[in-house]
A = this chain, B = another copy of it.
Amino acid sequence: MNIKFTTGKSISVLNKESIINALKRHEIYLIAACGGKGTCGKCRVKVLGGRYRTSKTGKISQADRNKGIVLACHTFPEEDISLEILEETRLVVGDKIALSKAKDLSELFRSLDGEISLIVKRLYLELPPPTIQDHIGDLERLRRELDLKGIKEMRFSHGFISSMADRMRSPNWKISLAYVGGPEAIFVADGKDSVRYGLAVDIGTTTIVVYIVDLSDGSLIDVGSTYNSQIRHGDDVITRIVHATEGRGLHELRDAVIEDINELIETIIEKHKINREMIETAVISGNTIMSHIFWGLSPQYIREEPYIPTVNFFPMWKAGTARLHINNQAPVYTLPCVASYVGGDIVSGVLASKMHRNHEIALFMDIGTNGEIAIGNNEWLMTAACSAGPCFEGSGIKHGMRATEGAIESVKIDRNTHEPELGVIGNSNPVGICGSGMIDAISEMFLKGIIDQKGKFVRELKTDRIREGEDGVEFVLYRGEKDIVLTEADIENILRAKAAIYAGVSMLIKEVGFTLDNIERVYIAGGFGNYLDVDKAIILGMLPDLPKERFRFLGNTSIAGAYLCLLSERLRKEAEEIAQKMTYMELSASRNFMDEYMSALFLPHTDIALFPTVEKLKNSG
């Protein structure tokens, strides 16, 4: 049997094989937040013709069903079918994402250290060439020279030794020995000078970013980014953990991320004509689950009580073992993690925020696919994960999507007509709504009296924008061939996410005996943070009601921290101190968390006194 596409292309489908699996076999990946369990309703495809069997339809409206729209994960062709993959369903790996600027980076580095001290050291040696009389082995010749320089106990791996003989002879025994702490020799380079590059990687649950850096001055050669193609196995960390514990799942996840990184490296080195052997160091930053998968470690025990990662402080390992396509002998440094749900990305973030160096009390919030927060200053640090869930990334929201072309990113609603005015990424017709659009829409609806404090539509309101849809009451944001709506269920999901974040912040602040007033600075990190409207996020009750000037947007601090650690021994030490010093608070273990969470499920909060600005806005409205 075959699946034929509108493009004319066709692929084979096996007996009893689901559409999603047939597509996967041909390397066509769909968004499938739940990993193919039929619960997220994301992997929608349109069958244009042919007989098929579908076993789950719950997430699909009758109207859509009539059009032939089905869940690819629970639909099985029974003869040749012709298929259309909907625009919002296809997972396009390789999309570009907004990135930090090179100038900001070098400024950040200068402000934190400024003196480059690399992981790979070099030692220039002029070895006496061998003769019939002086006939010791090459390795013994090198050891003798190191001995003369007072360097003992150097370790030599098979990887070093296997390339050594030629590399010593080609520059006629005038070599640079590249080594790492331990000390361990890693490779032999020609003569005195050579170009040296480093690789910094942020492995996000959703997005992967790589930097190639000139190690001589820290300048950024180029940047690459792509979606983490692990998404094909589900888009939150829990689904990934589940996949990792099934069959060859861990290998699949690891292969996916390694291939993503290697493709990004490939593109950059081709463009800049860089010899991959010259990329001699890598630094990786990711949350605890991403770091475990990168290391090929099962994240199984992270999810089982008492939630234990296998490693927080990763030793250095080699690019060849990691299968990164750079110099095989390059040391790979992994940012240390704090606990199961607070990883190296947060340690990176705290480092890049500099909050660990200042006396002022700061709050750090990374609102990505997961939600992590940290509070503290140069004396103490406390952290928690508040499992906001991936709804701000589009998952679990009827028309939710990531912040890419066609996403509604801002919403204004007229108080009288209730007509919305939409900002759409790429100024095209909207195909869905992204996180910042959701925040805008809900705060606007709340301010303009369309929804109440509980997030429920005000039924008596006279507007045809509110209507009964397939999934209950909804507000129509956009009317078109496909209407874009926010349902009451969507709003409930978003309120749960923001409540988790706010409750986390509240708990942390209370735990250290403070009140909101003590917070002198709020750092917001995450790709999401770039588009966030603070006022609207305060109205939503996601961010605490603090003066706007206390907020700082930092962008992707995970890659920034990786970049810093690539260049500086001192900053690697600081990162380790941050990870060591951070006290992790397990929110799921605390009874008070549920109370805080329940109170935060309202707009902006049960206790409106916590949000004086919003109170004033409501009253003035």
Contacts and interface: CB of A to CB of B under 8 A. Distances in A.
A339 interface: yes
A78 to B, nearest CB: 43
Interface string A143-174: 10000000000011110011011100100000
Interface in A304-330: 305-313, 315, 317-318, 321-322
Interface in A578-597: 584, 586, 589
A297 interface: yes
Interface string A261-301: 00000000000000000000000000000000001111011
A169 B318 CA distance: 27
Given A317-B158, A321-B158, A135 B165 contact: no
Nearest to A166: B298
Given A130-B306, A135-B584, A313 B140 contact: yes
Nearest to A312: B137
A17 interface: no
B155 A310 contact: no
A452 interface: no
Given A165-B310, A306-B135, A311-B137, A157 B339 contact: no
Given A307-B135, A339-B135, A162 B296 contact: yes
A136 interface: yes
A80 interface: no
B307 A139 contact: no
Contact of A162 (B166, B295, B301): B295
5 shortest A-B CB distances, which residue pairs?
A: A137-B312, A139-B311, A165-B310, A137-B309, A132-B306
9 contacts: A130-B308, A135-B308, A135-B584, A137-B309, A140-B313, A156-B315, A158-B295, A158-B315, A158-B318
Interface of A: 130-132, 135-140, 143, 155-158, 161-162, 164-166, 169, 182, 295-298, 300-301, 305-313, 315, 317-318, 321-322, 337, 339-340, 584, 586, 589
A137 B310 contact: yes
A169 B308 CA distance: 12
B139 A308 contact: no
A157 B317 CA distance: 7
Contact of A138 (B162, B305, B308, B339): B308
Nearest to A297: B162
Contacts of A138: 301, 308-311
Given A135-B308, A135-B340, A137-B308, 9 more contacts: A132-B305, A132-B586, A135-B584, A135-B586, A137-B309, A158-B321, A161-B297, A161-B310, A164-B310
A468 to B, nearest CB: 45
Contact of A313 (B139, B318, B584): B139
A172 to B, nearest CB: 14
A376 to B, nearest CB: 19
Nearest to A313: B140
A140 B288 CA distance: 14
Nearest to A318: B158
Contacts of A155: 182, 315
A85 B318 CA distance: 49
B312 A136 contact: yes
A308 to B, nearest CB: 5
B306 A131 contact: yes
Nearest to A139: B311
B132 A307 contact: yes
B306 A161 contact: no
Contacts of A311: 137-140, 161
A310 B139 contact: yes
Nearest to A169: B301
A510 to B, nearest CB: 19
A296 B165 CA distance: 12
A592 to B, nearest CB: 15
Contacts of A307: 132, 135
Nearest to A165: B310
Nearest to A143: B313
A322 B298 CA distance: 25
Contacts of A164: 310
A143 B155 CA distance: 22
A484 to B, nearest CB: 43
A300 B164 CA distance: 13
A147 to B, nearest CB: 13
A86 to B, nearest CB: 40
Nearest to A340: B135
A332 B165 CA distance: 21
Contacts of A321: 158
